[in-house]
Amino acid sequence: MLARRSLGWPITLGVIMIVLLLALTIFWVVLTGSGGYWVVLTIGTVLLGLVLTGVVFYLVLSIKEIRLNQRQSNFIDSVTHELKSPIASLKLYVQTLARRRVSDEQQADFHRYMLDDLERLDSLINHLLDAARLDRQPAPSEEVDVPLDELLRHCAETACRRYRLPPETISLETEATVVRGRPLDVEIVFRNLVDNALKYGGQPPRVVIQSQAIGQGRVLTRISDNGDGIPPALRRKIFGRFVRLGNELERSQTGTGLGLYIVRTLIGRMRGRVGLRSRGAPPGTTFEVELPGRRVEGGESLAPREYTGGLNDGPESRGERGEGQRMAEGPGSRVEGQENAAQAPSTAGE
């Protein structure tokens, strides 16, 4: 699913440290016997410094691997829960419908609950597939002008239907702009961020989406929620793979910890940047996404596009579910603050 780290660097570092240690011992013995105190002291000090540097590098690598293993353990717990819960629920409803007679009203409720469970499974699978396809670099011919205002409107409508929220839950303040990239990549980014804002918003959630051209061939989009926000000390951790704040067995929101890692990677691939800042008053979090794009001039026409949709969407909004598919399930985490500007490089990764 995600590129495995090469063992070449740790092995090479280990071999170099062993060679330096042997050289230090040999020089110390040989030169001590032949005199030359200052020569022995100089060479010994340099070799010892190199060995200590290697030990520090090994310590840093070990800490990173331990943290990655902890996040992978959280990821496994999350995926296991996300798979077993809807399957157990589906099994219960199917068995009930097969063994007992229920009223038409109960049947309609059961079908709605089963559809929700299928949507949950579909979201999880899409997350994993999107993460598995991150290594595939898009061809230049796949990048087109994507109408951002239209896409944001579609993402807002889809998210409200999915969570059964009134349309006014998400407020749109956008101007006619286009961004350059693969339509599916752009959709994945904003579906995930809008979904994240709803999941971690207040009760009831309120989301504001603002988008405008800022000159120099860039378009800035802000997605603000009314949740509790993210402590500044935790913002640097959010872009990592498998990162979800808190204990996996105690959290109340679903997710895999891959969502914002995918967002960062895709935005970096599109030569953009992503960050967040505290909303202030009212409390909440504001995501900021800057992508290459421009304002649509009056009279300019753009080819209509179809976007993917959820299982609960109407047939008019589903579209063809192709290779990438959409990612409706948001992560259980947020991204680094604008104060600590999270620059997503063109080769974004952890």
Any idea what the CATH number is for the domain that residue 282 is in? 3.30.565.10
E-state strands within the chain: 144-147, 170-174, 177-181, 207-215, 218-224, 273-278, 285-295
Q: Which of 77-81, 111-115, 267-271 has the lowest mean pLDDT?
A: 77-81
pLDDT, mean over the chain: 75
Residues 298 and 167 in one domain: yes
pLDDT of residue 318: 32
Whole-prediction pTM value? 0.62
Q: How many angstroms separate the CA atoms of 45 and 39, rounded?
A: 10
**DSSP assignment of 21-87:** HHHHHHHHHHHHHT--HHHHHHHHHHHHHHHHHHHHHHHHHHHHHHHHHHHHHHHHHHHHHHHHHHH
Confidence class of residue 249 from pLDDT cuts 50, 70 and 90? very low
Domain-embedded: residue 119:
no
Q: What is the average pLDDT across 318-325?
A: 34
Is there a contact between 270 and 287 (Cβ–Cβ < 8 Å)? no
Domain-embedded: residue 74:
yes
Residues 147 and 97 in one domain: no
Residue scoring higher pLDDT (326 or 222): 222
Q: Which of 60-64, 179-183, 219-223, 261-265 has the lowest mean pLDDT?
A: 60-64
Does the structure show a pLDDT above 90 at 170? yes
Domain-embedded: residue 343:
no
Residues 6+ apart with CB under 8 A from 191: 155, 158, 159, 326, 327, 328
pLDDT of residue 330: 36
Helices 104-132 and 37-99, packing angle to 10 deg:
160
Q: How many angstroms separate the CA atoms of 277 and 283, rounded?
A: 11
pLDDT of residue 304: 56
Residues 93 and 147 in one domain: no
pLDDT of residue 172: 95
Q: Which of 43-57, 139-153, 202-216, 320-334 has the lowest mean pLDDT?
A: 320-334
Confidence class of residue 310 from pLDDT cuts 50, 70 and 90? very low
For the chain, the maximum distance between any two Cα atoms, rounded to a whole number of angstroms, is 100
Domain-embedded: residue 16:
yes
Q: How many angstroms separate the CA atoms of 86 and 84, rounded?
A: 6
Domain-embedded: residue 109:
no
Residues 183 and 236 in one domain: yes
Is there a contact between 272 and 344 (Cβ–Cβ < 8 Å)? yes
What Rg value do the Cα atoms of the chain yield, rounded?
A: 26
Q: What is the average pLDDT across 126-143?
A: 75
Residues 153 and 292 in one domain: yes
Domain-embedded: residue 169:
yes
Question: By residue range, what is the domain housing residue 193?
Answer: 143-317
Q: pLDDT digits over 59-72, tens only?
A: 788 877 777 777 67
The domain total for the chain is 2
Does the structure show a pLDDT above 70 at 299? no
Does the structure show a pLDDT above 50 at 108? yes
Tell me, what amino acid is at 277? R
Q: How many angstroms separate the CA atoms of 238 and 245, rounded?
A: 8
Q: How many angstroms separate the CA atoms of 199 and 197, rounded?
A: 6
Confidence class of residue 325 from pLDDT cuts 50, 70 and 90? very low
Residues 148 and 223 in one domain: yes
pLDDT of residue 243: 64
Does the structure show a pLDDT above 90 at 199? no
Residues 187 and 284 in one domain: yes
19: tokens are 């060679």
- Burial of 38 per CB tally in 10 Å (0-12, 13-18, 19+): exposed
Percentage of residues of the chain with pLDDT beyond 90: 21
Residues 169 and 274 in one domain: yes
Unique residue bearing structure tokens 């009203």: 105
Helices 259-269 and 104-132, packing angle to 10 deg:
50
